[in-house]
Amino acid sequence: MKKLKGIGASDGIAVAKVYLFVQPDLSFKRINVADIDQEKARFEAALRASTNDLKAIRKKAAQLLKEVEAQVFDAHLMILADPVMTDEIKAKIQEEKVNAESALKDITGGYIKIFENMDDNVYMKDRAADIRDVTKRILAHLLGVTLPDMTMIDKEVVVIAHDLAPSDTAQLNCKFVKAFVTDIGGSTSHSVIMAKSLEIPAIVGVNNITSLVKAEDFIAVNGNTGEVLINPTSVEKEKFLAAGKKFLAKKAEWDLLKDAKTVTLDGKYFELAANIGTPKDIASVIDKGAESIGLYRTEFLYMKAADFPTEEDQFNAYKSVLKDMNKRSVIVRTMDIGGDKKLPYFHLKEEINPFLGFRALRISISKTGQKMFRTQLRALLRASIYGKLRIMFPMVALLQEFRTAKAIYEEEKTKLLTEKIPVSEDIQIGIMVEIPAAAVIADRFAKEVDFLSIGTNDLIQYAMAADRMNEQVSNLYQPYNPAILRLIKQVIDAGHKEGKWVGMCGEMAADQIAVPLLIGMSLDEFSMSATSILKTRSLIKRLDTKKMEELVDQALNKSDTAEEVIALVQKYLIVP
Ligand code: PEP
Ligand code: MG
């Protein structure tokens, strides 16, 4: 048995077999072959095996994902069925007497180069990516190694990976994937946020877990504490299972608060909202007692599709969320692509610092992204009549960016109205405060926006200069640092001074140490993963606002460090 510790990022306990999601070594040597016919036969066998793989994956994907997502595999099958390229590979084996691996790499490499160099043609660049994928699959068969594929998981496992991109997490089938553990990553990375909404435990930053486990190992994980046990003894396994039961009992207690109002001991009401990534999340949002949607991350709609979602696709998604929420407010964030969220069909230049780069609203109001932005705004405006819509712009640094985005919004609204398409009269427009520059001049923003929502996931990383995805600086990623707390209070006060409401949609809104402080600062709305709502409601019901105001004063003005703040909160939470 081996004990490891990482960052417990999504709550819950799981014990299951390991599924190693690690790309195998596909290196090979270029050699000359004597038996050409045998080499060609070897290549053809690899081709057939790849076709069979892809047919099976295609079938599975169609069951698990949407038809458009499954269609990616049709493109791969078409490449395999195209005789031009495969004949060229066989001809190369014949003429140069080289092994199939080399012939394959040479020929497909040539095609990839041609497609990639076709300037800004997105379609051709996609073809290059498809050929690369297919080449990898044939190569794996030639080398006798297996490519991991999460859509094919059909028994209970804990996924172990170096890292998971949000697009990987989007493919997790939580019927079988009981948890995931990664070598790297931080507690607010998007894969973790998705794990929370799927209610699967996640542990990140376990250093070299991928090199410590083997495919046949058993693993026990505790997402609440960050503990990981490889091949636990039966005693340890029982301990984990017992902790799992206890956690479920606690959850059952919180479940009783589903229809309760979120009021403090002294009767002050706070709004608890949910963060969602897709319209499918609504059922669990309502089930978990959320009063509204505080953040709809629309980029997942873009990430799950094979091409830009059309105005109609988006309209349907927004309409269904607004209708399902039945007049409760829904804050839709315009797309936040960039950073760790990439689109395979939208080619952005490689950047050294993508989190500080061309992303979110910066793309939306640019020449490159404006068309996409206008489509999204039209879809939102058309859907607005089905509920209570609020629109929020991400990654705003400058007042001018907000003004430009708002002007584009007004233009699209006017266009629709002249087309006689109805639009709601009650749409609020706000911004996310996630760049320190915007937080510092929140008083100016507050005069122009309808609301402010603090995005602490990014605000903390930018204010502390500590990458939210990097476990090596996770000690600097400090939500309770007095510097961060002062920044947050400043934003809340600035909003209130102008009569605007202020919310928070970063993970900090559900952090059990931060919540008492945020209550003391009079934050109006707390938006979080749906799975954290009842836990947070239970906590808020035990707090007294006057006492929490006193706590805030102590934390902001008399504490030097995050550790001191934690100790202070804990002292205030002990009921005498
Ligand atoms: C944030 O930055 O706090 C936020 C909610 O947005 P995201 O996590 O999607 O960057
Ligand atoms: Mg953000």
Given this model, what pLDDT does residue 217 score?
Answer: 95
Q: How many CB atoms lie within 10 A of CB 413?
A: 18
Task: Provide the pLDDT confidence category of residue 576 given band limits of 50, 70 and 90.
Answer: very low
Indicate which atom in ligand 1 lies nearest the CA of residue 507.
3
Architecture of domain 291-433: Alpha-Beta Barrel (3.20)
Q: Which of 298, 300, 334, 458 to mutate to test the pocket of ligand 1 (most atoms within 8 A of CB)?
A: 458
> pTM of the prediction?
0.78
pLDDT, one tens digit per residue, over 416-468 is 999 999 999 999 999 999 999 999 999 999 999 999 999 999 999 999 999 99
Q: Which residue has the higher pLDDT, 230 or 197?
A: 230
Instruction: Inform me whether the pLDDT recorded for 326 exceeds 90.
Output: yes
Give phi and psi for 20, each to the nearest 5: -85, 115
pLDDT, one tens digit per residue, over 58-86 is 787 676 655 655 677 788 888 888 889 99
CA of 472 to the centre of ligand 1 (A): 20
pLDDT, one tens digit per residue, over 175-210 is 899 999 999 888 888 778 878 878 899 999 998 999
Task: Assign 374 to helix, strand or coil.
Answer: helix
User: Looking at the domain 2-23+149-240, which fold is it?
Assistant: Glucose Oxidase; domain 1 (3.50.30)
- Ordered by start, the domain boundaries in the chain are 2-23+149-240, 36-143, 291-433
Q: How far is CA 103 from CA 36, 97, 171, 504, 516, in A?
A: 12, 9, 33, 55, 64
pLDDT, one tens digit per residue, over 242-277 is 999 999 999 999 999 999 999 999 999 999 999 998
Given this model, what pLDDT does residue 126 score?
Answer: 67
| Helix runs in 34-169, H state only | 36-64, 67-70, 72-81, 83-96, 100-116, 122-143, 166-169
In this structure, the residue with its CA closest to atom 7 of ligand 1 is: 457
Query: Are 12 and 199 within 8 A, CB to CB?
Result: yes
Domain 36-143 has CATH 3.40.630.30: no
Given this model, what pLDDT does residue 58 score?
Answer: 79
Report the DSSP pairing between strands 227-230 and 218-222: antiparallel
Ligand 1 binding pocket includes 458 (Cβ within 6 Å): yes
Percent of the chain with pLDDT over 70: 96
pLDDT, one tens digit per residue, over 483-532 is 999 999 999 999 999 999 999 999 999 999 999 999 999 999 999 999 89
Task: Provide the pLDDT confidence category of residue 329 given band limits of 50, 70 and 90.
Answer: very high
